[in-house]
Structure 1
């Protein structure tokens, strides 16, 4: 069996996001906010594109490599 030393567990809360629709009716939806140094340690940087794979009560977040390749081809390390 493979070792799982790299697996970390983060516990966060699902919040409610309320918004007013054009019809004047309020809508509420679940919201998950991810932020913190642990994201960088997991290999994610600000500006990265991700894919979220959903199944019943499970989310898997992975880098969107296609998007990253396209961006690098269009705009390779522009310095300002």
Structure 2
């Protein structure tokens, strides 16, 4: 069965800080897995004029953290991930 390309949804209201009305969108269903968004997948949401674009984000590895930010930051990343 072919995956549906479009889905109609609703922006709901959720109580936010000091009970202030806050817009909320919930996405759930097996169709997310079929579209490449499995449980635990990190995502990036880009806000454009009248549009949200959601793409999977690759996790930064320990080596990437070391190369980008130096040894001290890499050690913090490793500790956070329970590698030390």
Range class of TM-score, shorter chain: 0.5 to 0.7
Q: How many residues align?
A: 64
TM-score, normalisation: structure 1? 0.66
Q: Which runs of 5+ in 1 are unaligned?
A: 76-80
- Larger RCO, structures 1/2 (Cα 8 Å, 6+ apart): 1
Q: Which has the higher strand share?
A: 1
Q: Which runs of 5+ in 2 are unaligned?
A: 65-77
Q: Stretches of 4+ moved more than 6 A in 1? A: none
TM-score, normalisation: structure 2? 0.64
RMSD of Structure 2 on Structure 1 (CA): 2.5
Q: Which has the higher helix share?
A: 2
